[in-house]
């Protein structure tokens, strides 16, 4: 019996030694090989390899990777390598979440820790993601205040319960302060209306230019010229008040001397009267002479 117990103990010990190896092999995974089976994620897979994040993922025993298809990557691959690495870290969740587990969060929002939190430089909740399960879908977004929360879950690429879950999302998650293009600024929304407000102020100043007021003053100058040029009668209808200006002209009123011309013109009328008077007097004298000759004739005849 003792001889039998020794082999049994040895077999049990061997099993105990081999079991961790078997468990490690069973739980081991390779994110690069997983994504190689899905060409639609080749760009994301290539970035994981170039940034050195693939080995870090493979060393984990429990992890969730949010991947983006090639046609939804945008300009992520054009970022500097360090910036691209930090952005990708926010897509790696340090826990296991598959579709079943996410659906249990219906109507709730959960805060998940991502791999960027381990860098020690995360700020403003950059090391966390928010996930919300709603009736119209599941949404991911950065936990930073005012960050977009619109990366929609497309589907599951692979799930090995409690080891690795690879989920596809609609587009890269934007984390303010990472990538060199976004900053955790909270004031941009109110600034645009302030910049629009001063715009009408200069327009009112332009409208308030007193140029049209000066125009009538300049129009008065030609009216004075018209009065001084002797054309005041023509200008008198529109401006009757200007009548006193021609009335001040005593110098033209001195023209009674030439105005005596009409009195001289009356001379012909007087001459005509004198001619009529002379003609009448001549007629009278002719009558008297005729009577005188008749008288003489009568005397001669009487003699």
Domains and CATH numbers, the chain: 23-169 (2.30.180.10)
Give the pLDDT confidence score for residue 294 in this predicted structure. Answer: 73
Q: Does residue 221 surpass a pLDDT of 80? A: no
77 — pLDDT class (breaks 50, 70, 90): confident
More confident residue, 213 or 127: 127
Cα torsion through 86, 88, 90, 92, rounded to 10: -130
Phi, psi of 270 (to 5 degrees): -65, -40
Residue 168's nearest CA partner among 158, 153, 183 is: 153
More confident residue, 124 or 193: 124
Residue 22 burial (C-beta neighbours within 10 Å; 0-12, 13-18, 19+) = exposed
* 171 vs 151: CA distance, rounded Å: 6
Q: Highest-confidence range of 21-25, 37-41, 72-76, 247-251, by mean pLDDT? A: 37-41
pLDDT above 90 coverage of the chain, percent: 48
Give the pLDDT confidence score for residue 179 in this predicted structure. Answer: 73
pLDDT digits (tens, 9 = 90+) for 151-187: 999 999 999 999 999 999 999 999 999 974 444 434 3
């Amino acid at each position: 019996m003792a001889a039998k117990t020794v082999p049994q103990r040895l077999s049990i010990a061997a099993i105990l030694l081999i079991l961790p190896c078997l468990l490690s092999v069973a739980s081991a995974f390779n994110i690069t090989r997983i994504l190689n089976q899905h060409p639609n994620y080749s760009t994301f897979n290539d970035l994981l390899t170039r940034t050195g994040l693939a080995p870090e993922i493979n060393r984990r025993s429990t992890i969730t990777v949010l991947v983006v298809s090639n046609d939804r990557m945008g300009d992520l691959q054009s970022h500097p390598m360090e910036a691209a690495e930090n952005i990708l870290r926010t897509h790696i969740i340090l826990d296991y979440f598959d579709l079943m587990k996410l659906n249990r969060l219906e109507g709730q929002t959960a805060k998940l820790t991502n791999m960027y939190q381990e860098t020690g430089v995360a700020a403003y909740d950059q090391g966390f993601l928010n996930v919300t399960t709603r009736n119209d879908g599941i949404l991911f977004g950065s936990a930073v205040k005012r960050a977009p929360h619109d990366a929609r879950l497309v589907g599951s690429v692979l799930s090995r319960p409690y080891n690795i879950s690879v989920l596809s999302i609609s587009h890269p998650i934007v984390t303010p302060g990472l990538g060199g293009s976004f900053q955790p600024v909270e004031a941009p929304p109110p600034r645009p209306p302030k910049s629009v407000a001063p715009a009408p102020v200069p327009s009112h100043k332009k409208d308030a230019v007193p140029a049209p007021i000066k125009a009538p003053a300049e129009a008065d100058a030609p009216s004075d010229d018209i009065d001084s040029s002797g054309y005041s009668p023509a200008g008198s209808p529109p401006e009757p008040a200007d009548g006193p200006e021609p009335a001040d002209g005593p110098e033209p009123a001195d023209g009674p001397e030439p105005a005596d011309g009409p009195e001289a013109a009356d001379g012909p009328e007087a001459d005509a009267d004198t001619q009529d008077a002379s003609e009448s007097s001549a007629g009278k004298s002719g009558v008297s002479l005729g009577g005188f000759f008749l008288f003489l004739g009568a005397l001669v005849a009487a003699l």
